Amino acid sequence: MINNLVFRKLLNYPLLEQINHLHTTRILSAWSPLGDGPQKWLAYNKKIYPPQEPHEERRPAFVCHQRTNIKYSPWKMWYIASMIRGMSVDEAIKQLKFVLKKGAKDVRETLEEAKEMAVKEHNVEFPSNMWVAESLVGKGIVFKGMRRHARRRMGKVEYFHCHYFVRLEEGSPPKHYYQNVPKEPSEKLEEWLQQMRSRKIINSL
């Protein structure tokens, strides 16, 4: 009888209740509402620029958005993120609907959230008049587990997560997103002629 009373008092003790919900591991704390995910990318939205002079080129509006700890391999997500760079936002969403990779759904939802954020928080009048200026992938948290093998041996299992970052910029997309684009035949001919005309014979007049 005495042991039952002591046990009941211990159960009502607030310290034991706190210990019961205490997690000291970094993995479990990552899934809390205030997780320590990347925050620097969203800080670009809070940056305030000085007023522009009349002769300066107009600074286009942009919005940065992210989705953290996606249960998908960052190496596989890189192909999806690279595909939509330089596309208009509507074209990127349309193309992602036909991609049969699991991470395409998360990228498409992130783009749709960024469009909605641009209208509500950044005063963008036409969200369709935006293009994907940056599309990046980062490595997220990694859960480690064990896989049982024969003869009492164990193998390590790693469950990878990734972060996806996107920046939409107002305006029409550029003709060539990457600088080292293949040259046109006329451009190659002009470059070859320039090299031929710039030749010089050494030790000549």
What's the fold here for domain 39-44+59-176?
Answer: Ribosomal Protein L22; Chain A (3.90.470)
Contacts of 141-147 spanning 24+ positions with Cβ under 8 A: 141/27, 141/30, 141/69, 143/27
pLDDT in tens, 167-179: 999 999 998 898 7
pLDDT tier at 17, thresholds 50, 70, 90: low
Q: Three-state DSSP class for 195? A: helix
Tell whether the model's pLDDT for residue 34 goes beyond 50: no
Q: How many CB atoms neighbour CB 28 within 10 A?
A: 9
pLDDT digits (tens, 9 = 90+) for 46-97: 999 999 999 999 899 999 999 999 999 999 999 999 999 999 999 999 999 9
Contacts of 82 (CB under 8 A, 6+ apart): 135
Fill in the DSSP letter of residue 88: B
pLDDT confidence bin for 29, thresholds 50/70/90 = low
Tokens of 190: 């002009």
Can you give the residue ranges of every domain in the chain?
39-44+59-176
Q: How far is CA 154 from CA 7, 142, 146, 150, 151, in A?
A: 39, 18, 6, 8, 9
Q: At which residue do the structure tokens 């036909």 appear?
A: 98
